[in-house]
C-alpha cells in the first residue's frame, strides 16, 4: 500500500480539494493480490487503490472513460520488426503506469 501511495503522490495523479457544495465523495477500497512464481512460491504482494465505480453516475461524476490497451496483433508486428531489423529488444516490468507520466528510463532503438 505504501508503494502504491508513494507512486500516486510522486506522479501527481491527484490533488486534495474541497468537495463542491451538495456533492459526496466517491468511496474507494484497497484491492490486494498475491502473485506467485510458476513453482507456487511467493513472487510479490500487490495493492491497488480503486474507486467504487458502481457508486458513480454518468454525466454527474464522470463523462468519459479511457483505458489504453495494446492489441496482440500490434505487439506481434512490433516483435517481427525488431527481429527482422536485428534491433536490440529488452523487457521490463513496470510497477505503476500513468497516462502522460514522466518516465525515468529512456529507450533507444538504433
- Predicted confidence at residue 109, as pLDDT, reads 45
Q: What is the DSSP string of 57-81?
A: -BTTTBS--------HHHHHHHHHH
Q: Are 96 and 4 contacting, i.e. CB atoms less than 8 angstroms apart?
A: yes
- Whole-model pTM? 0.46
- Using the Cα atoms of residue 9, residue 15, residue 18 and residue 24 in order, give the sign of their dihedral: negative
CA distances in angstroms from 51 to 71, 86, 88, 101, listed in the order given: 26, 44, 39, 20
- Predicted confidence at residue 86, as pLDDT, reads 94
Mean pLDDT of 34-47: 89
Amino acid at each position: 500500500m505504501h508503494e502504491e501511495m508513494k507512486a500516486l503522490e510522486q506522479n501527481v495523479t491527484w490533488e486534495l480539494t474541497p468537495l463542491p457544495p451538495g456533492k459526496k465523495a466517491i468511496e474507494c477500497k484497497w484491492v490486494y493480490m498475491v502473485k506467485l512464481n510458476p513453482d507456487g512460491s511467493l513472487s510479490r504482494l500487490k495493492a491497488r487503490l480503486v474507486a467504487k465505480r458502481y457508486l458513480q453516475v454518468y454525466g454527474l461524476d464522470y463523462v468519459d472513460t479511457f483505458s489504453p490497451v495494446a492489441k496482440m496483433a500490434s505487439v506481434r508486428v512490433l516483435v517481427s520488426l525488431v527481429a527482422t531489423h536485428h534491433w536490440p529488444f529488452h523487457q521490463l516490468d513496470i510497477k505503476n503506469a500513468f497516462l502522460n507520466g514522466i518516465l525515468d528510463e529512456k529507450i533507444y532503438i538504433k
